[in-house]
Structure 1
């Protein structure tokens, strides 16, 4: 009798496990031509159900309810695939998904990072473009920050610079993260000290598009854009009001609430974005050390637009992010008290800024733009018998004027950038600094023929401490076929020295001077 009962129990457990397995579905996503796994490809089923392909191209959706599931599989640069599968799935798993490169027309994708009104396929500069649909899919998977949506772009690597804080930097074409310029609506808000934790503090819900330029673009944006730049473009209000609310709960103990609203009324329009994120310390490999730090953060971004006429527009944006992170030994994270045996790193950061701009547009080829921004960033790192506290104040002012014709356009401009860092914690050496740079630049775009385009530029920067820097740039584009385009370009750049690098971030800026 006991043997029969045991057999029945084992049968029921096996049946239950089989039923649970049948309520999941696994895909193997690869490039159709090369067979290489597409790491980071998105499998989207609904606002609360989806998966991201791992290093082997495998993505699994669990706990599927209903008799069928419809999924959309997408990856930047590939044709999206939409299929419906019966549940439980009785075919071979993982399901093989072979994705083709897309060749769709992209004339409507107008980028702002090049400061021209040309479409993405008519610009000699190499640009990758993430639109609203792709951003929405990535926000479903990870709504707390933009790290995931950048990670899947080819040529971009997200480098973890601190295991305790989970901080990451953007590497383009293998270069250190400090050589990539990160911008928000054309403003350099994440340079120097403020570059710390920047990727982890930018939610994607209020973004309209992301523009990635690979290769030097220092002519337009200064010496820091040596490897390239990433420009985050915010949603603009339209006649119809827009409301977006998203609540994200992860299996790793993270909870994120994002809310966005946009409205336009006559000459005035505005957007309002708010985000709150809470993450409990998460240990993925049971080594008693946090792989994800405990985090509490709040972000508020209101923006006001005013159009006194059809040709004039003022824009004022305010940004505030307030965050605390605790990473290290789980016992120390719980007690909030580090000691010689239990490592703990606490990060406190406060980021506040404003951006003010004025634009006068006579036509699509003639435009005047004035910009000004102010950033205040304060961050403290506290460990056992060590602390680092610093404050950065950075300003940016710029005037640009574009003119010309459709086949030949010009852009001239000048800007002033200042960066002051003060180390407030007691230290044996003073690593505070103050930098001031003024620059003038010019860029010219020429459509040489139906197949050839040329882009040239020159920038002159005068730094208070490091003298004159001359930055030429050249890009050429050749359209060999409607579906085949060649681009080649090059330029010079420079980077003013600071103590803020990937290496010093890993060391919590301990015992590091500008002279080393």
Structure 2
């Protein structure tokens, strides 16, 4: 009997040993086929759980015979299940789980501004991006320009530089617009004399992505990016041709018509964007001055793409924009000037630029890139008894080498920037010529799955040099680190140096119309130099079928030798400008419904030889709220609201705090979309609090513009999609 018992136990033991099975699988994102590290795999009945490694692989051991369900989950992707019977026919096989993005999740965003084309979640440098899906919404709100697009972004504020002409600049984290760069495909096309009109001459319809880098970015793109940069990424031809037409009409006498066409063949492709934008002079306050000027603008932007082989590709583009903008006294605009009604502001501009990009791929990990742009900008700025005419010829050329490895990526390059401004009589003495030659190197080191570092160094040499440093030489380091603390929690911290060469173009000179400004002697003026620090924490988690995201940013920037205008002359202050604050972004996504809240706190000060004052036109508190309900390719409705706190004005008084509201409704069919959008539904206008000028209607002296002037504006239109 004892022998029989031992035999039965031995048989059972052998059976148990034989019944221990192994399961191998690889986890991928179904959309881009990228492997997923940190995905969770579970066999609920057996209470077994594991996570995928850095290569996306999972393994379960000691699985008994039987039928079991394996569940795989990853934040932002749909859960996938496989029910299998063990033992498997081929126990050594590796199974595949391809997880699909959940409804409402945006496609993965690839960032171009750091030149390495990495996924946004893997870059140590903090960058925000608006992908094509969000740009499509912005194009229905303001098809003719990107002024609204930037003004509604947390941490960025648009600032009117004219009360009657609609010109505006943008500021990042409370710093003057001259400390920011506006790039197109990584190339500076909108600097200098064209700065206050640039936001009004770019259409969101020609863009596939907008990238925001807040904080010092001079190491990436040279002088001027002290506060940060905005990189506008152009649309490129896709495998399916597109032919879209947009027609838009506003209640403020505005009309927009634009067309976009793209097509890709085996070795060539093309995109063509063209638009005509018109606005009649508009005075909702009936104070006699235009809140929106009389405007005519034509734009055409064709590009040719070539795909020689697997190693060589590139594109060539041309941009031509002409605009005639007339603001001021409504009676003068209508052609009925008399001895009392004489004031006007006229801007005639012509922009012509070329863009060239070429890429040679050595292999899957290495490539050379060449970029070049040459731009010509002509502007006539006229007021009664005064005319300022100038021509700006600029160029940018860059050669860089990119090497992407498993743990380390390198970017090294050279670039040359020229800027030649010729002021025509009678202000010929305001002309200047500058050239910058730079070299840079950048390294991204993925030290571990949870930690990576991006560092860089740039050396720029400027001619003619400022008074200090002696030879116009600037050495600009930066470093940023990314911590992936868990699947839900990440953090970034970083900082860098920056500089800005002195020139005449900033918000104050634009507001003064360049009248009576004294010539700038670069050799006797110091360059503005800065350092900046920032850090953020990002938390994202699933709440049932919903997703909640919170991002908290802290920033500080200090600019030494700040250039200020005193007695019509630009001088370096014996002190510094500093800006510090926080940004908070909260987002909740529930299937078709989403909510967003953004808050910015900014404390910007000027320290002038120990005399500390607040920077004017910089509200300390700004809050934005957005809610949208969207059924993809069918219906979209959204509401938004913005609060701006009281702010110091240049007169020493304080402006009012205010709240604005907006709403959008859009219905989509296969070949066309209909939309209606409204801004400032409560018809809030600065003119409700008093006159926007002092003096007489003949010789007005305009106050700071810090709140809307055009009041409630409704626009409606149609998008026609002919090749869908």
**TM-score, structure 1 as length reference:** 0.78
Partner of 1:433: 432
Q: CA contact under 8 A between 1:247 and 1:256: conserved in structure 2?
A: yes
Structure 2 equivalent of residue 6 of structure 1: none
1:457 corresponds in structure 2 to 456
**1:229 aligned partner:** 229
The structure with the largest strand share of the pair is 2
Q: Are 2:483 and 1:475 equivalent residues in the alignment? A: no
1:442 aligned residue: 441
Distance 2:401 2:179 in 1: 27
Residue of structure 2 equivalent to 1:355: 355
Residues 478-487 or 221-230, more deviating:
478-487
Partner Cα separation in structure 2 for residue 376 and residue 285 of structure 1: 37
Residues in 1 aligned to 2:337 and 2:374: alpha-carbon distance in whole angstroms: 35
Tell me, in whole angstroms, the C-alpha distance in 2 between the residues paired with 1:105 and 1:408: 29
Distance 2:119 2:348 in 1: 42
Q: Are 2:311 and 1:311 aligned?
A: yes
SS of the equivalent of 1:219 reads helix
Q: Is the 8 A contact 2:161 2:511 kept in 1?
A: yes
* CA contact 1:107–1:121 (8 Å) conserved in 2: no
Q: Deviation per CA, 1:300-325, whole angstroms, max 9, x where unpaired?
A: 00000111112211210000100000
Partner of 2:262: 262
CA distance in 2 between counterparts of 1:321 and 1:339 reads 35
Task: Give the equivalent residue in structure 2 for 1:157.
Answer: 157
Q: Would the aligned equivalents of 2:224 and 2:499 in 1 still touch at CA under 8 Å?
A: yes
Unaligned stretches of 5+ residues in structure 2: 1-101, 466-471, 522-568, 570-724
* Secondary structure, counterpart of 1:289 in structure 2: coil
- In structure 2, relative to structure 1, the CA distance for the partners of 1:399 and 1:172 (3 Å cut) is same
Q: Deviations over 1:215-272 (max 9, x none)?
A: 1111121111111111111111122111111001001110000100000122011000
In 1: Cα distance, 2:241 partner to 2:437 partner: 41
The answer to whether the 8 A contact 1:219-1:471 is kept is yes
Q: Secondary structure at 1:318's aligned position in 2?
A: strand
- CA–CA distance in 1 between the matches of 2:358 and 2:339? 53
Retained in 2: the 8 A contact 1:111–1:120?
yes
8 Å CA contact 1:260, 1:274 repeated in 2 = yes
Partner of 2:398: 398
Say if 1:400 and 1:485 are closer, same or farther in 2 by CA, change over 3 A. Answer: same
3-state SS of the aligned residue for 2:515?
coil
Aligned-residue offset at 1:106 = 6.7
Q: How does 1:58-97 map to 2 (within 5 A)?
A: none
What pairs with 1:26-41 in structure 2 (closer than 5 Å)?
Answer: none
Aligned partners of 2:112 and 2:118 also within 8 Å: no
Q: Distance in 2 between matches of 1:408 and 1:425?
A: 55
Deviation at 1:361, TM superposition (A): 2.1
Bigger shift: residues 382-391 or 400-409: 400-409
Secondary structure in structure 2 of the residue aligned to 1:252: coil
Match of 1:168 in 2: 168
Q: Confirm or deny: 8 A CA contact 2:110 2:119 kept in the other structure.
A: yes
Paired position in structure 2 for 1:85: none
Do the aligned partners of 1:263 and 1:269 also contact (CA within 8 Å) in 2?
yes
Partner Cα separation in structure 2 for residue 487 and residue 336 of structure 1:
59
Q: Which moved more, 1:468-477 or 1:105-114?
A: 105-114
Q: Does residue 500 of the first structure (1) align with residue 500 of the second (2)?
A: no
SS of residue in 2 equivalent to 1:139: helix
Q: Could you tell me how far 1:164 is from its partner in structure 2?
A: 2.3
CA contact (8 A) 2:165 2:290 kept: no
**What does residue 632 of structure 2 align with?**
none
- Equivalent residues of 2:268, 2:304 under 8 A apart: yes
Tell me, yes or no, if the aligned pair for 1:365 and 1:409 is still in contact at 8 Å: no
Alignment of 1:371-386 (within 5 A): 371-386=371-386
Change (3 A) 1:464 1:275: same
Aligned to 2:129: 129
State yes or no: 1:421 paired with 2:421: yes
* SS in structure 2 at match of 1:197: helix
Q: Secondary structure at the match of 1:469?
A: strand
CA distance in 2, matches of 1:365, 1:345: 54
Change in 2 beyond 3 A, CA 1:386/1:185:
same
Deviates more, 1:393-402 or 1:341-350: 341-350
1:485 and 2:457 aligned: no
Partner SS, residue 236 of structure 1: coil
Rounded Cα–Cα distance in structure 2 between residues aligned with 1:449 and 1:144? 45
Indicate the structure (1 or 2) with the bigger Cα radius of gyration.
2
Report the CA distance between 1:486 and its aligned residue: 1.4
Give SS of 1:166's match.
coil
Distance in 2 separating the partners of 1:126 and 1:501: 27
Contact 1:339 1:384 in 2 (8 A): no
Between the aligned partners of 2:111 and 2:339, the Cα distance in structure 1 is 51
Task: Tell me: CA distance 1:126–1:324, structure 2 relative to 1, closer, same or farther (3 Å).
Answer: same
2-structure distance, mates of 1:340, 1:380? 24
User: In the alignment, is the contact (CA less than 8 A) between 2:331 and 2:341 conserved in 1?
Assistant: no
C-alpha distance after superposition, 1:183-227 (max 9, x if no partner): 111111011123230000001111111111111111121111111
CA offset at residue 481 of structure 1? 2.9
1: CA distance between counterparts of 2:138 and 2:494? 31
1:33 aligned partner: none
CA contact (8 A) 1:117 1:365 kept: no
TM-score, normalised to structure 2, is 0.56
Shift in CA distance, 346/336, structure 1 to aligned 2, threshold 3 Å: farther
Say if 2:165 and 2:345, in contact at 8 Å, map to a contact too: yes
Shift of 1:484: 2.4
Partner SS, residue 200 of structure 1: coil
Aligned to 1:290: 290
- Work out the CA distance in 1 between the residues paired with 2:150 and 2:336: 32
Q: Distance in 1 between matches of 2:339 and 2:397?
A: 46
Report what 1:116 is aligned to.
Answer: 116
**Contact 1:368/1:399 (<8 A) preserved:** yes
